[in-house]
């Protein structure tokens, strides 16, 4: 079992200092948190600029990587034929070509890595919030099931993780709704909670 994070959710938790929630999720699932190389690059770049600059997100990522709380997945499609094949299926373009275009590459790599793991018999939990990314992940999930891969894909979201979080997972004894509201200040794609 693996939990693979996209840049958006990773940044959300890091920006508000709630990375412990992700760590506890991994502990509960008895697994590891993983991010593709491309997601790491995006979190470093975005986390140190714009509205994230003062949040400490980029620094928190480095702390998690150094402590082994988050591991990297290599995006080298030239040495991993299964990953290259899955990236081609997910993106609809040859992997060698698609890897050169950064637009949405993090999301595509998250899904391709998850499909590769499912092919190896692993259940991969994809944490992705972007609407198009979620549609691609759901399509990949159906494809993996139809192909009879020995593993599986499951889809998680920032909000879903917070809703299921034990109160002790959240730093500062805050309600998950307060954490979500703080995350929305960083991520325009997170929708409002119902009143």
Contact status, residue 74 vs residue 80, Cβ threshold 8 Å: yes
Domain that holds residue 116: 2-184
194 falls within a domain:
no
DSSP per-residue codes, 66-117: HTTSEEEE---TTT-HHHHHHHHHHHSS-HHHHTT--TTHHHHHHHHHHHHH
191 falls within a domain:
no
Between 26 and 1, where is the model more confident?
Answer: 26
Give the residue-averaged pLDDT of 2-27: 96
Question: DSSP code of 169?
Answer: G
Q: Which two tokens stand for residue 141?
A: 């999930």
190 falls within a domain:
no
126 falls within a domain:
yes
175 falls within a domain:
yes
Per-residue pLDDT at 71 = 97
195 falls within a domain:
no
The pLDDT tens digits of the residues spanning 56-113 come to 999 999 999 999 999 999 999 999 999 999 999 999 999 999 999 999 999 999 999 9
* pTM for the structure as a whole: 0.95
161 falls within a domain:
yes
Mean pLDDT (the chain) is 95
The pLDDT tens digits of the residues spanning 119-175 come to 999 999 999 999 999 999 999 999 999 999 999 999 999 999 999 999 999 998 799
CATH code at position 28: 3.40.50.1010
Number of domains in the chain: 1
192 falls within a domain:
no
Q: Which two tokens stand for residue 81?
A: 């034929």
């Amino acid at each position: 079992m693996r939990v693979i994070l996209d840049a958006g959710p990773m940044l959300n938790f890091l920006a508000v200092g709630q990375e412990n929630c992700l760590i506890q999720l991994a502990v509960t699932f008895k697994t590891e948190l993983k991010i593709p190389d491309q997601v790491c690059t995006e979190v470093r770049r975005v986390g140190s600029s714009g509205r994230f600059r003062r949040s400490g997100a980029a620094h928190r990522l480095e702390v998690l990587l150094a402590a082994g709380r988050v591991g990297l997945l290599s995006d080298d499609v030239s040495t991993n034929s299964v990953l290259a094949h899955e990236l081609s299926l997910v993106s609809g373009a040859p992997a060698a070509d698609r890897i050169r275009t950064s637009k949405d590459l993090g999301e595509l790599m998250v899904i391709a890595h998850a499909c590769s793991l499912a092919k190896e018999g692993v259940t991969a939990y994809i944490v992705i919030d972007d609407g198009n990314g979620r549609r691609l992940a759901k399509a990949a999930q159906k494809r993996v099931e139809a192909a009879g891969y020995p593993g599986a894909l499951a889809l998680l979201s920032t909000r879903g993780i917070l809703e299921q979080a034990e109160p002790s997972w959240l730093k500062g004894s805050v309600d998950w709704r307060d954490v979500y509201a703080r995350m929305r200040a960083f991520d325009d794609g997170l929708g409002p909670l119902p009143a």
